[in-house]
């Protein structure tokens, strides 16, 4: 396997290291209190669901299985069973302010060895930790400067970012020298123990480009939180938007209702129509909540139909 591919794989697995299974849910103490947005995937919670089993079955098909076998041979790590959780967060919409934290069973020393083999590898101490960095061959230079990847292993975590400062701040959050979400009220509905969610996401009001209805909704909301999960073979999602006032919340609900109405008219996209019809909206003061409930096996069929369409498009271009 070429070194370039090894570096890409190292970045893709984004710092996998030894971790107890209990760390798969969102760890509020690992996320900065100043975060403007976050996204967490609990892979352990997803794996036993109807949807998770479908994803695993797709990974067991010959082409995907062959790629996973190559990965496992080199890293001695099985993505299907040993990846437990993924967290991304940032204090602004700028990608360079974000950090990525992956939890998995892995040998940290092996990751360090791979990093040291990357192009123009460098390292710098940060307290009791080391921040590793190397040139990211997957991205084009900006203003003549090649972008770099920064990473640090801290206990049972590895943190990745596009800036050394972002990784350094994340280390300080984990170590307790900077405030974290566990000590605050931001995204208070996320990270509750035993909630069964495999995806949790949230965003506070941020400056976003104009012209996109989705951006308009976010700009009108003080906060947005999304959770997805599965129980009793039912796929369930909840989107909660909190506005500055009841009046603004009413405007938000009107925009969302309009988007759902448009989706219901897309007869060439039956899955979109089915999802739109399955969503219910309710307003309570300055709070707007949308709930989605669908049979999990129906969601799997939608995933299969979407994959089939993409495969057909790809085949027609070959």
* DSSP for 147-203, written as a single string: -EEEEEEETTEEEEESSHHHHHHHHHHHHTSS-BGGGS-TTTTSS-TT--EEEEEEE
Widest pairwise Cα distance in the chain: 59
In the predicted model, is pLDDT for residue 58 greater than 80?
Answer: yes
Say whether both 169 and 126 belong to one domain: yes
> Residue 298: helix, strand or coil by DSSP?
helix
Give the residue from 104, 89, 81, 135 showing the smallest Cα distance to 20: 104
Say whether both 29 and 138 belong to one domain: yes
In a domain, residue 277? The reply is yes
Give the residue from 14, 12, 4, 15 showing the smallest Cα distance to 117: 4
In a domain, residue 59? The reply is yes
Q: Are 200 and 235 in contact (CB under 8 A)?
A: no
**Average pLDDT, stretch 172-183?**
94
Q: Using pLDDT thresholds of 50, 70 and 90, give the confidence band for residue 161.
A: very high
Give Cα separations from 184 to 34, 35, 42, 107, 190 (angstroms).
10, 11, 22, 33, 12
> Residue 235: helix, strand or coil by DSSP?
strand
Strands 221-231 and 197-204: antiparallel
Give Cα separations from 97 to 32, 34, 69 (angstroms).
12, 12, 34
pLDDT of residue 203: 92
What are the pLDDT digits (tens) for 132-159? 999 998 888 888 889 999 999 987 788 9
Say whether both 132 and 212 belong to one domain: no
Q: Are 165 and 15 in contact (CB under 8 A)?
A: no
In a domain, residue 190? The reply is no
Q: Are 204 and 223 in contact (CB under 8 A)?
A: yes
Q: What is the pTM of this model?
A: 0.85
Say whether both 70 and 210 belong to one domain: no
Percent of the chain with pLDDT over 70: 89
pLDDT of residue 207: 62
In a domain, residue 260? The reply is yes
What are the pLDDT digits (tens) for 9-49? 333 333 333 333 344 799 999 999 999 999 999 999 999 99
Say whether both 28 and 63 belong to one domain: yes
pLDDT of residue 208: 61
**Average pLDDT, stretch 258-276?**
90
- The tally of domains found in the chain comes to 2
Say whether both 63 and 177 belong to one domain: yes
Say whether both 142 and 210 belong to one domain: no
**Average pLDDT, stretch 115-131?**
94
Say whether both 162 and 13 belong to one domain: yes
Structural domain including 215 reads: 205-317
Say whether both 54 and 143 belong to one domain: yes
Give Cα separations from 302 to 45, 270, 272, 290 (angstroms).
21, 9, 9, 20
In a domain, residue 279? The reply is yes
In the predicted model, is pLDDT for residue 313 greater than 60?
Answer: yes
Round the CA-based radius of gyration of the chain to a whole number and report it: 21
In the predicted model, is pLDDT for residue 238 greater than 80?
Answer: yes
What are the pLDDT digits (tens) for 68-111? 888 777 666 788 888 889 999 999 888 889 999 988 887 888 88
In a domain, residue 195? The reply is no
Say whether both 233 and 174 belong to one domain: no
Say whether both 167 and 211 belong to one domain: no
Q: Using pLDDT thresholds of 50, 70 and 90, give the confidence band for residue 7.
A: very low
């Amino acid at each position: 396997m070429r070194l370039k591919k090894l570096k890409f794989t190292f970045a893709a697995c984004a710092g996998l290291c030894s971790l107890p299974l209990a760390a798969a849910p969102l760890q509020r103490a690992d996320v900065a209190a100043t975060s403007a947005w976050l996204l967490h995937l609990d892979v352990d919670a997803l794996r036993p669901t109807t949807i998770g089993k479908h994803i695993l079955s797709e990974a067991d098909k010959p082409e995907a299985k062959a790629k996973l076998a190559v990965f496992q041979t080199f890293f001695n790590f099985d993505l299907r069973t040993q990846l437990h959780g993924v967290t991304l967060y940032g204090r602004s919409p700028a990608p360079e302010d974000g950090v990525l934290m992956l939890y998995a069973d892995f040998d940290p020393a092996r990751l360090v060895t791979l990093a040291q083999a990357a192009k123009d590898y460098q390292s710098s101490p940060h307290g009791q930790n080391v921040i590793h960095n190397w040139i990211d061959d997957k991205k084009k230079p900006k203003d003549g400067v090649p972008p770099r990847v920064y990473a640090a292993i801290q206990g049972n975590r590895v943190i990745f970012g596009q800036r050394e400062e972002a990784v350094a701040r994340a280390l300080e959050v984990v170590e307790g020298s900077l405030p974290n979400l566990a000590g605050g009220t931001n995204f208070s509905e996320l990270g509750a123990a035993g909630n069964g969610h495999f995806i949790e996401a949230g965003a506070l009001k941020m400056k976003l480009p104009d012209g996109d209805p989705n951006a308009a909704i976010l700009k009108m909301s003080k906060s947005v939180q999304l959770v997805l999960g599965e129980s009793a073979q039912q796929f369930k999602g909840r989107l909660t938007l909190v506005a500055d006032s009841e009046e603004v919340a009413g405007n938000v609900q009107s925009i969302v209702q309009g988007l759902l109405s448009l989706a219901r008219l897309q007869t060439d996209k039956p899955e979109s129509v089915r999802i739109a019809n399955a969503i219910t909206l309710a307003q309570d003061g300055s709070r707007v909540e949308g709930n989605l409930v669908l049979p999990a096996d129906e969601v799997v069929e939608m995933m299969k139909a979407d994959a089939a369409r993409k495969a057909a498009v790809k085949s027609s271009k070959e």
